[in-house]
Amino acid sequence: MCTCAGGEKSRMNLHVCMLKENDCYKAGRTIVPKGVMVHSTGANNPNLRRYVGPDDGLLGESSSRNWNQSGVGACVHAFIGRQKDGTVATYQTLPWTMRGWHSASGPKGSANNTHISFEICEDDLSDETYFRAVYQEAVELTAYLCQRYGLDPKADGVVICHQEGHQRGIASNHADVLHWFPMYGKSMDDFRADVAQAMEEETVTQEQFNKMMEVYLKSRTKLATSDWAKEPLRQAVERGFTDGTSPQGFATRQEVAAMLNAALK
């Protein structure tokens, strides 16, 4: 059964549909995530149902070649692509700390042992709107994973694509995603910077919050008196227990005490 992971702290459209029939899932090995590897499928089919199933009512009926079955020989932690109504979404397909089968290996080992992985479903690579949507979804997913596992997206070897993994000797010789991202002006350095920025946007320090609160409180003091309150406020001013300023500002306890004293005189 697929479920929507609605409570997760993120702006991405995240759903969960574990590929429990995949041999990788059944192998059940685990990793301590050290990074995130970005893949794209290399096939013209942007529909999630090609890979993910069963249908949760949003995916559409899954392809007979979907990855939720034995014999696929590969598995990733998530897919980004289209639901049946065209909406771009992310589907988590393995527990994040399960060992995926996504990179194969190179002379220096395998990213399967270190990296969380996701596939972006490719279309025919000619649709810029689709690219922008899945790119943004990928940025948010990677930011979420880096935050969750305490990873620095700009540190060496942490956020890499399959081709970069090959260059580093930890993945098979595939081109993804550098046959696609640069068509729309995005390098992997851009991707890492966008992930870092997305993480900053999500983290508000206490100091920043206090500043925002001050701005908010100040903005309240500039609001005009509501129509319904004009007469009672006029009377309160006339009776001397408020000066009538900041009619929509919040009152502190000391101000309330002073107003009550004035009113009870």
Kindly state the smallest distance separating residue 106's Cβ from Zn ion, in Å: 13
Return the residue of 145, 176, 181, 198 that touches Zn ion, per CB under 5 A: 176
| Cα separation, 249 vs 252, whole angstroms | 10
Return the residue of 15, 36, 39, 135 that touches Zn ion, per CB under 5 A: 39
Site size toward Zn ion, by CB under 5 A:
4
Residue closer to Zn ion, measured from CB, 39 or 115: 39
Kindly state the smallest distance separating residue 39's Cβ from Zn ion, in Å: 3
Strand locations in 41-161 (E): 78-82, 88-92, 115-120, 159-161
Q: Find the DSSP H helices in 38-171.
A: 128-148, 162-167
Kindly state the smallest distance separating residue 48's Cβ from Zn ion, in Å: 17
Return the residue of 115, 174, 186, 192 that touches Zn ion, per CB under 5 A: 174
Q: How many CB atoms lie within 10 A of CB 236?
A: 18
Q: Which stretch binds Zn ion (CB under 5 A): 26-34, 136-144, 171-179, 192-200?
A: 171-179
Of 135, 247, 150, 229, nearest to 186 by C-alpha is: 135
Of 57, 62, 81, nearest to 19 by C-alpha is: 62
> What's the token pair of residue 2?
């697929």
Return the residue of 50, 82, 99, 162 that touches Zn ion, per CB under 5 A: 162
Interface with Zn ion, residue 166, by CB under 5 A: no
